[in-house]
Amino acid sequence: MKLLEDRIRRDGTIRGTDVLKVDRFLNHQMDIALINELGKEFHRLFADCGVNKILTIEASGIGIACLTAQYFNVPVIFAKKNKTKNIAGDVYTSKVESFTHGKVYDIIVSKEFLGPQDRVLLIDDFLANGSALQGLIKLVQDAGATLVGAGICVEKAFQPGGDLIRSMGVRVESLARVKSMDESTHSIEFC
Ligand code: 5GP
């Protein structure tokens, strides 16, 4: 999606070999007009899939999921990062390894909000190694719900997550796919 690629080129910052910062417009300060266009595009891509729930993961995915959900007219569920050892109540759980911190944490969704009647679209800001998506996919499977696919804003295609998740038979639609990036020259190439 040219709009997003242009914005990443203009306002994105490369850190080291594998981190792209988009704090100016996507996951710290949020450009709502831009994210609204991303939501519209996710809707165009998945409009005829019978989506009735959008599932994301806190925190960065929430805003994007909400602006997307307006077009589907469906609720957003965000998987919570569980901080306590005792998982209370009736919840689905899975584990996610944080890309930025390397730590493994549990994510949870209440059984009240996800079940066999649901057709779920996953939304997230980044796809890197695929751990966040794998965690969300497990929640959908444990709930007996149908996974329609995943809408990703920025896929770093030089990392293994995209191939991994697609090889599981999951439809992944990424609005910008970064082929390579170089901190020293501040250059980004898209697929
Ligand atoms: P994965 O689980 O696919 O390895 O990583 C995806 C998650 O890590 C996303 O939810 C996102 O929050 C974070 N992430 C991965 N790569 C980047 C990156 O280059 N920049 C930022 N800002 N977040 C990232």
Which residue, judged by its Cα, is nearest atom 10 of ligand 1? Answer: 126
The percent of residues above 90 in pLDDT, for the chain, comes to 94
Task: Quote the longest CA-to-CA distance of the chain.
Answer: 51
What pLDDT sits at residue 83? 63
What pLDDT sits at residue 149? 98
DSSP code of 145? P
How far is the centre of ligand 1, averaged over its atoms, from the C-alpha of 131 (Å)?
9
Which residue, judged by its Cα, is nearest atom 4 of ligand 1? Answer: 129
How far is the centre of ligand 1, averaged over its atoms, from the C-alpha of 125 (Å)?
7
CA-135 nearest atom, ligand 1: 2
How far is the centre of ligand 1, averaged over its atoms, from the C-alpha of 92 (Å)?
22
What pLDDT sits at residue 100? 83
Exposure string of 113-137, with b = 16+ CB inside 10 Å and e = fewer, is bbeeebbbbbbbbbbbbbbbbbbbb
How far is the centre of ligand 1, averaged over its atoms, from the C-alpha of 140 (Å)?
20
Exposure string of 53-68, with b = 16+ CB inside 10 Å and e = fewer, is bbbbbeebbebbbbbb
**Which neighbouring-strand residues pair with 13?**
21
How far is the centre of ligand 1, averaged over its atoms, from the C-alpha of 159 (Å)?
11
What pLDDT sits at residue 54? 98
Average pLDDT, the chain: 95
From CA 17, how far away is CA 176, in angstroms rounded?
Answer: 18
Q: CB within 6 Å of ligand 1 — which residues?
A: 19-22, 27, 60, 99-100, 124-132, 161
SS3 of the chain: helix, strand, coil, percent, to 5: 35, 35, 30
From CA 15, how far away is CA 109, in angstroms rounded?
Answer: 32
pTM of the model: 0.96
Show the low-confidence residues of the chain (pLDDT under 70). Answer: 83-88
